[in-house]
Structure 1
Amino acid sequence: MKNNITGNNLIEMGYTEGKTVGLALDILKENFTDTEEKELLALFKKVKDYPESFLDDPVLNPLATAMIEETNAPKDETIELVSHAKPYAVFGADYIEEGARNQMDIAMKLPVSAAGALMPDAHQGYGLPIGGVLATRNAIIPYGVGVDIGCRMALSIFDIPEKHYFGKDAMYKRELIAFTKFGPGREFRGLERADHEVLEDEAFNSTPFLKNLHGKAWAQLGTSGGGNHFVEWGIIDFAERDEILNIDKGRYVALLTHSGSRGLGATIAGHYTKLAKDICKLPKEAVNLAYLDMNIAEGQEYWLAMNLAGDYASACHEVIHNRLTKAIGAKVLAKVENHHNFAWKEILDGEEVMVHRKGATPAGKGVMGIIPGSMTAPGFLVRGKGETSAINSASHGAGRQMSRSKAFQSITKSDMKAILKDHNVTLIGAGLDEAPMAYKDINKVMAAQTELVDVIAKFEPKMVRMADDGSRED
């Protein structure tokens, strides 16, 4: 009597669709054509439930072995991406390369993604594109924050009229060199070391990992990174009085700095990115977007460490600004600071989300910010409009239009010297990869985000110091 057992019958009793079902059907066909169907169903259910009991059975051994191997095989814990990228807003689409769009598309397929946006300075990065904004639900992405955690701009506007700057180049250059250090591993030693309340932050004692970074943090406090990090003197132009800052129309000497959390932030980023990749298995194309659930210890630890790195980055700027302000004997009329490479808990459409701004800055209603151009192009003091489609964000600068290698290949030292001379800018340090020509036109970038920010004043660089060792920590 021929049995009529099908693959569906086997699946109903718990067989896994695929190899074991096929093997079971082959065994049934070759060995049990005359056995009652009811008896066979009972037998194969027993093989399913107790495969080890059939390892010595000459007919059923291959099926029993396959089932045991299947049970012991490591499970594929890869988290599937959603099939279609969630829509996101793009500002300045004409200036954004395809690589950045592709990275943002992948980010918007994460199951935890809630919303996203691309700023007009966006370009391809690592994981999330630089200039990318991503809101997630109860999850934080170490590489959505970036390596240089809490990297920021800080601007001090002094009570020095423009005319009092010119003719004193030697003094400004002397103090700029005396009170700044640039590049990876650079430290202050002995009496040069700064003190700041951030070094007393209890977060340093929260984990052995952070405690071990305290010495590095102290030594590097007040130093600046490589790459596009800078400290520069310039002139800021207020075309009209700003009531909120209480600054009259006019042109003032100002100090602008760009740097982040130094070795502290880089070490935190590397440690927690590795943890995230071990815990959160994503497909190959999304592996650098590995995230940590905020309900697990590792997520809470990273949140604490990220905020410490952000506070430390702010302290580094404060040390630099305090030292240089004292050195030139000036009074600060106003100070503005904003940061990127960070994650914030915010409310979006009535829901709490984690907003990652990698190379993008907060631009909520009334929030002040600084958007630099390049060492010769103007920067802009802005006030956010709170545009929801941009997730209350704006660009963090002009953004690169040329890779670093391309800049070295296509820009000459004479090209660099000529453009610096044309703009009357004194440069200390920096490589060809930071040449103004390597960056997008800041005026076009600003024109693409008029919905996002209002311009309050324009900053013109006059003396720029950057790392001269070809390093990069941005």
Structure 2
Amino acid sequence: MTTETTYDPVTGEHLKDWGHRPGKQFPELLARANALRAEGFGLVKIRMELEGEIPEVPPTMDLRATSAVPFHENIETGDADEEDNLAKVRQTMTALMRVPTIEAGAIMPDACPAGPVGTIPVGGVAAARNAIHPGMHSADICCSVMITDLGHADPKAVLDAAQSVTHFGPGGRPNGKRFTVSMGLLDAFRENPFLNNPKSLRMAQEHMGTQGDGNHFLFVGRSRKTGRTAIVTHHGSRGPGAVLYKNGMAVAERFRKELSPSTPKQNAWIPADRQEGQDYWAALQLIRKWTKANHNAIHQATVEAARAEVGNRFWNEHNFVFKRGDLYYHGKGATPAWDGYAADATGLTLIPLNMAEPVLVVRGKDAAHGLGFSPHGAGRNFSRSEHRRRMGSVTPEQMLKAETAGLDVRFHAGAVDASELPSSYKKAEGVVRQIERYGLAEIEDYIDPYGCIMAGDVPPFWKDKKKGRRA
């Protein structure tokens, strides 16, 4: 009687330990390795047999010299706060331009810092060669705005209808109140290694029809050109985007350690020509589709609840990565302003300013000194905490009344979030003036405000959890 000898199989972890990089070649390498294993070869012998397949390690990419890559400034200052803000933006952009993949940069009129020095600022654009930087689109991937013309519908009826169907705050919709997600889109998630995980798939369903918190809003106003009512929504890709960002940063960090250890962690990148880069690029396009569907779901539910007629509808993202030629343009709070930037681009884009000001409908001018971008909004000259400090004894309710007189402003959670009031943002007229001065876009219409819904001031979810534990 003979006993057949069995061997533990060679796995992908073995290949990575031996120096092989994950990619399309992995299945073939594993098949060859396990064929040798079945013939009785030991792991050491198999490793030696496959050594010729290990790609050469590229040379380490060092940070560029300071100011080796200049950046365009499309911003002016008029007071001490603006001077201080611009100094900080220049400092962080100068550091950002040292990243070895970056070939050009620009800042918009709404520029303001968004993290440690070297982090791309809000209102910043960075063009990279053969590199996708997850940290340069941040966790709020595909933060975007959509508008729908609702004819001559009553703005109050539209805002009431919207309030009855939209969802702000942390988390998603409970069972029984969820919006439908395309099965084709979910299947596409399952086919992408960055999105095929239980959390992404669950959140893709739970978060459809939600808008999150912070500066995300639902705005109702009237076109100055036509007098027709319009709804504008502002939000990003919610939970699915946040999970993709986390997974992308983990892969980018692995490449950072290999390719450029001196590059700050927030600027790690995934090489676009590697399998991981191709998969991440595909994942970004799927997240874009999900986000557009999310806007559409809220708009359509509002249309049906208000029994309004539907006119034109278009949208644009301002927190994303765009490929143009052989460069990857990272817009962090910056709106693409060139024709055909996406297959569904209409030539018109939206620039909201603050809840008491119009939403601008613009046509981009593809300005070279803006790297083909325009602002995404008003931006801030100081932080939310500094705004709260400057309020002094004035309450959020008093400030709301003074700054939004005549408007129907609602906070979904009930409590007023003072850091989202107009005084927390740069002056709208200044941003408009700079758009025109620098030739970044042509303003075609103004959607004057009737009112809006904001998330509202709610305790962070982790504070609620702490309270629960103490109780």
TM range (shorter): 0.7 to 0.9
Q: Does 1:224 align with 2:221?
A: no
How many residues are paired up? 378
C-alpha distance in 2, partners of 1:232/1:78? 48
Q: What CA deviation, in whole Å up to 9, does each residue of 1:293-333 have, x standing for no partner?
A: 11223222221222211111111100001111121122222
Amino acid corresponding to residue 132 of structure 2 in structure 1:
I
Q: CA deviation at 1:274?
A: 2.4
Normalising by the residue count of structure 2, what TM-score does the alignment of the two structures yield?
A: 0.75
Aligned with residue 272 of structure 1, among 248, 251, 254: 248
C-alpha distance in 2, partners of 1:329/1:179? 13
Note closer, same or farther for the CA distance 1:341–1:370 as it changes in structure 2 (3 Å cut).
Answer: same
Q: CA deviation at 1:189?
A: 2.1
Q: Does 1:308 align with 2:286?
A: yes
Q: CA deviation at 1:423?
A: 4.2
Could you say which residue in structure 2 is the equivalent of 1:88? Answer: 71
Aligned with residue 392 of structure 1, among 359, 372, 392: 372
Q: CA deviation at 1:364?
A: 0.9
**Any residues of structure 2 matched to 1:9-24 within 5 Å, and which?**
none
Amino acid corresponding to residue 331 of structure 2 in structure 1:
R
Q: CA deviation at 1:93?
A: 3.4
**Does the residue aligned with 2:170 lie in a helix, a strand or coil?**
coil
Aligned with residue 428 of structure 2, among 419, 442, 462: 442
**Aligned 8 A contact 2:194 2:279 in 1:** no
Could you say which residue in structure 1 is the equivalent of 2:7? Answer: none
Q: What CA deviation, in whole Å up to 9, does each residue of 1:209-253 have, x standing for no partner?
A: 524211211111011011000112112211xxxxxxxxxxx2111
C-alpha distance in 2, partners of 1:100/1:355? 19
Q: Which has the larger radius of gyration?
A: 1
Aligned with residue 407 of structure 1, among 387, 395, 400: 387
C-alpha distance in 1, partners of 2:403/2:229? 19
Note closer, same or farther for the CA distance 1:315–1:371 as it changes in structure 2 (3 Å cut).
Answer: same
Bigger shift: residues 82-91 or 139-148: 82-91
Q: What CA deviation, in whole Å up to 9, does each residue of 1:15-51 have, x standing for no partner?
A: xxxxxxxxxxxxxxxxxxxxxxxxxxxxxxxxxxxxx
Could you say which residue in structure 1 is the equivalent of 2:228? Answer: 252
Q: CA deviation at 1:176?
A: 2.0
Amino acid corresponding to residue 170 of structure 2 in structure 1:
P
C-alpha distance in 1, partners of 2:251/2:460? 24
Aligned with residue 202 of structure 1, among 184, 188, 192: 188
**Aligned 8 A contact 1:138 1:293 in 2:** yes
**Aligned 8 A contact 1:184 1:262 in 2:** no
Could you say which residue in structure 1 is the equivalent of 2:91? Answer: 102
Note closer, same or farther for the CA distance 1:198–1:260 as it changes in structure 2 (3 Å cut).
Answer: farther
Could you say which residue in structure 2 is the equivalent of 1:244? Answer: none
Could you say which residue in structure 2 is the equivalent of 1:362? Answer: 336
**Does the residue aligned with 2:113 lie in a helix, a strand or coil?**
strand
Q: Does 1:262 align with 2:244?
A: no
Note closer, same or farther for the CA distance 1:283–1:104 as it changes in structure 2 (3 Å cut).
Answer: farther
**Does the residue aligned with 1:422 lie in a helix, a strand or coil?**
coil
Q: Does 1:467 align with 2:449?
A: no
Bigger shift: residues 373-382 or 421-430: 421-430
Flag structure 1 segments of 5+ consecutive residues without an equivalent: 1-74, 239-249
Q: Give % identity.
A: 29
Could you say which residue in structure 1 is the equivalent of 2:5? Answer: none
**Aligned 8 A contact 1:378 1:442 in 2:** no
Could you say which residue in structure 1 is the equivalent of 2:268? Answer: 290
**Does the residue aligned with 2:140 lie in a helix, a strand or coil?**
coil
**Any residues of structure 2 matched to 1:57-96 within 5 Å, and which?**
79-85=61-67, 86-94=69-77, 95=82, 96=85
Flag structure 2 segments of 5+ consecutive residues without an equivalent: 1-56, 340-345, 462-471
Note closer, same or farther for the CA distance 1:435–1:208 as it changes in structure 2 (3 Å cut).
Answer: closer
Q: CA deviation at 1:120?
A: 0.6
Amino acid corresponding to residue 325 of structure 1 in structure 2:
V
Bigger shift: residues 464-473 or 95-104: 464-473
C-alpha distance in 1, partners of 2:220/2:348? 20
Q: CA deviation at 1:456?
A: 0.7
**Aligned 8 A contact 1:141 1:291 in 2:** yes
Q: CA deviation at 1:291?
A: 0.9
Q: CA deviation at 1:285?
A: 7.1
Amino acid corresponding to residue 464 of structure 1 in structure 2:
C
Q: CA deviation at 1:187?
A: 1.8
Amino acid corresponding to residue 143 of structure 2 in structure 1:
C
**Does the residue aligned with 1:148 lie in a helix, a strand or coil?**
coil
Could you say which residue in structure 2 is the equivalent of 1:64? Answer: none
Bigger shift: residues 305-314 or 221-230: 305-314
Q: Does 1:215 align with 2:202?
A: yes
Amino acid corresponding to residue 257 of structure 1 in structure 2:
T
Q: Does 1:452 align with 2:426?
A: no
C-alpha distance in 2, partners of 1:417/1:84? 44
**Aligned 8 A contact 2:195 2:283 in 1:** no
Amino acid corresponding to residue 130 of structure 2 in structure 1:
N
Amino acid corresponding to residue 279 of structure 1 in structure 2:
F
C-alpha distance in 2, partners of 1:375/1:173? 14
Aligned residues: CA RMSD:
2.4
**Aligned 8 A contact 1:226 1:470 in 2:** no
**Does the residue aligned with 1:125 lie in a helix, a strand or coil?**
coil
Q: Structure 1 residue runs of 4+, over 6 Å off?
A: none
Bigger shift: residues 445-454 or 296-305: 296-305
Could you say which residue in structure 2 is the equivalent of 1:136? Answer: 128
C-alpha distance in 1, partners of 2:239/2:181? 17
Q: CA deviation at 1:402?
A: 2.6
